[in-house]
Structures are given as structure tokens and as C-alpha cells.
Amino acid sequence: MQPENALIARICHDLVTPFNAIGLGMEAYEASGDLSLLEHVKESVGKANIILKFMREMYSEKSETFRHSFASLNALISDFLRDRSITIDLKLNESRIPHGIAQIMMLDVVVAKESMPFGGAMQCHVGKDLREITLSYAGRNISVPDLNLCGELNHKNIMLYSLVKILEENEWELKILLQGTDVLIFQKKRPHA
């Protein structure tokens, strides 16, 4: 599958659940007239909106000089992780982050969300010179992503593929520092210019 097709399939896959919930909620409301069902519909609309905002921000083209504010990036990532009971602690030494670094962080978040099916906590630290990102996952039964990406490209591995491709294109080195069933620590470094 071509990367763009896999990405479209992934976005559709992520939106199916909230849109199905909206449809079922509206059917139930129309059949019963129970106004409390509209709260569930509203919640599902909110979930779909978060997914769309996150994906749009992650894949939008930005100029080399564009920088995300720490507050907006933190809010976007926290909202995206909320439905999986995953918390994130972002540690940034900068108040504004270049889009390329933010994009790597957002892709990291999607991969972490897939790797932590029972929830947990993430910590992301971006070094002072923006040349090192350390990401830690802590939770139950963490699955380790296969960084070799063997096999067919599909909606399940497109985000990891995108992350690895961006890292390779920008000469970032990716290492697993610690791996276990309840903890996983990745580090990304890029050479000095």
C-alpha cells in the first residue's frame, strides 16, 4: 500500500468509532426522545474533532520558521491521549517549538498510544539545543514497536513508518535505551550541524 493510502486508511480507521457512536446515538434519540442521549453524541463529536485537529496539525505543512507554543502543543497532545487514559509530562526547555520537532513529538504520541493499550504515563523531554528527544512510556503490558517495519505498509503501521521516515530524512538517530513489559524509553538524537 502506498504511504498516502495507508495514511488515509488510518485517519478513517480512527474516525470510525466516534462517527458510529454519533449515528447510533442519534438513532437511539430519535427512537426514544431521551435528551440525555444527546450528551453521548456531543462527546463523540468532541472525540472526532480532537482526532481531526491532531492529524491536521501533525501533517500540515509549515514554514521553516513556524513555531508551536508549548501551551497549545501540550493541550493538543493531552486531549488526544485522554481517551486512552494516558497522561503526558512534556519537558521542554523552549517556550516555542519548531514544527519539525513538534511533528516528531506528535508522531511519537500516536505510536505510544498504540503501544500502551491499558493506559499509563508518558514523559517527553526535548533537550535545550533541540537535538535530543527522550520519550518514556510507563504502563502495563507495553508493546514495543518494530522499528524495522518489515511487511506491508498499512493503517496499523503508517504512523511508525512516518516517524521513522522523518527521523531518517533529518539524520536523527533512534535508540531504545530501556525495554521491559512496563517501561520503554526511546531516545532520538541528531548530529550537530
Q: Is pLDDT of 13 > 70?
A: yes
pLDDT top residue among 189 and 56: 56
Q: State which amino acid sits at residue 10.
A: R
pLDDT in tens, 134-184: 888 888 888 877 777 667 888 888 888 888 888 888 788 877 766 666 676
pLDDT, position 192: 63
Question: Could you tell me if 170 and 190 are in contact, meaning their C-beta atoms sit under 8 angstroms apart?
Answer: yes
pLDDT, position 31: 94
Q: How far apart are CA 80 and CA 112, in angstroms?
A: 12
Q: What are phi and psi of 188, to 5 degrees?
A: -120, 130
The separation between the first and the last C-alpha atoms of the chain, rounded to the nearest angstrom, is 35
Write out the three cell numbers for 32. Answer: 426514544
Pairing of strands 96-98, 132-138: unpaired
pLDDT, position 152: 81
CATH superfamily of 3-189: Histidine kinase-like ATPase, C-terminal domain (3.30.565.10)
Q: State which amino acid sits at residue 118.
A: F
How many residues does the structure list for the chain?
A: 193
Show me where the domains of the chain are located.
3-189
